[in-house]
Amino acid sequence: MSKPSTRDLTVIRKGYVTPNMLRVTLGGDGMKDFPDDQESAYVKLMFPIEGDDKGRVLRRTYTVRHDRVTDQGREIDIDFVMHGAGNGDDGVDDHDHGGPASNWAVNCKPGDVITIGGPGPKKLVDPTADWFLIVGDMTALPAVSVNLETLPGDARGYAVIEVRSEADMQDLKKPDNITIEWVINPRPGAQNTVLSDVVKRIPWHADGRLSVWAACEFTSMRELRSYFREERGLGKDDLYISSYWKLGMNEDTHKVIKSEDAKTAA
């Protein structure tokens, strides 16, 4: 498999969406050959390893929240979770407080340049289903938001979203018949049944085909996967579920255990 292409992007601006979510807008000449319509796709932010003379880099995975064309050119938004990651190191996909990606986001300024790889493929809920259940913590909120925005107008179902505080609840665009259940968890990852407990209380429609999309911390993911597969009998065609991070691990270590878990859960 060929490696994703890389490009240098320029910081256009940044600002807080909520107290614990920082948005950085990237653009510049590197966007000229960026594929169209990449909201919810992932990119790899690349950070040089200091003192390494071989040019090696750390790669950190993030979701494209917005992709738009402006009078000044093409732009993408990347949202970074701040505070409460709990791992004290660099994590995965919007969740590495204290690590290279979140530190870069806090300290970057307009005109700074960063190298990214990708974009990688989108992972979206099946829009042909009869009803929907979308689940995620703050690391998955950018992808959850895009999923909600792209659902058919007559879609029905639920979105269960874990955030660190009430102030982190965003005003999300969604179909009228999708109900959002906000879950407040000030200790994400440490209190790892908070999200799944709410999901298990969601009313289950007896009619029609369900499509589930879920992404969150590793332990929460395993709890949800067991519920969806064993208690609700969902198969692979009706369920997308992924861990975006694991408490106490950086992205490199998490990637290893995620791969091992996938083999045993197949």
Mean pLDDT by 10 residues, the chain (266 residues): 79 97 97 95 92 78 96 95 51 55 95 96 94 97 98 97 97 98 91 90 88 96 95 94 90 87 80
pLDDT of residue 227: 96
pLDDT of residue 99: 82
> For residue 236, with 0-12 CB atoms within 10 Å meaning exposed, 13-18 middle and 19 or more buried, which class applies?
exposed
User: Cβ atoms within 10 A of the Cβ of 22, count?
Assistant: 21
3-class SS of residue 242: strand
Instruction: Enter the tokens of residue 14.
Output: 């940044």
pLDDT of residue 87: 37
**Structural contact between residues 141 and 162, judged by C-beta atoms closer than 8 angstroms:** no
Backbone torsion region of residue 111, taken as left when φ is above 0, otherwise alpha when ψ lies between -120 and 50, otherwise beta: left
pLDDT of residue 50: 76
Task: Could you list the beta-strand ranges (E) of the chain.
Answer: 6-18, 21-27, 42-48, 57-70, 73-81, 113-117, 131-136, 156-163, 177-184, 210-217, 239-245
Using CA atoms, how far apart are residues 146 and 124, in angstroms rounded to an integer?
8
State the CATH class of domain 6-121. mainly beta
| Helix (H) / strand (E) containing 263 | helix 251-265
Q: Where in the chain is the domain with CATH 3.40.50.80?
A: 123-265
Instruction: Enter the tokens of residue 257.
Output: 């255990």
**Structural contact between residues 113 and 138, judged by C-beta atoms closer than 8 angstroms:** no
**Strand 210-217 vs strand 131-136: parallel, antiparallel, or unpaired?**
parallel
- The string of DSSP codes covering 75-113 is EEEEEEE-S---SSS--SSS--TTSHHHHHHHH--TT-E
State the CATH class of domain 123-265. alpha beta
Instruction: Enter the tokens of residue 65.
Output: 């929240």
| Helix (H) / strand (E) containing 143 | helix 141-150
Q: Where in the chain is the domain with CATH 2.40.30.10?
A: 6-121
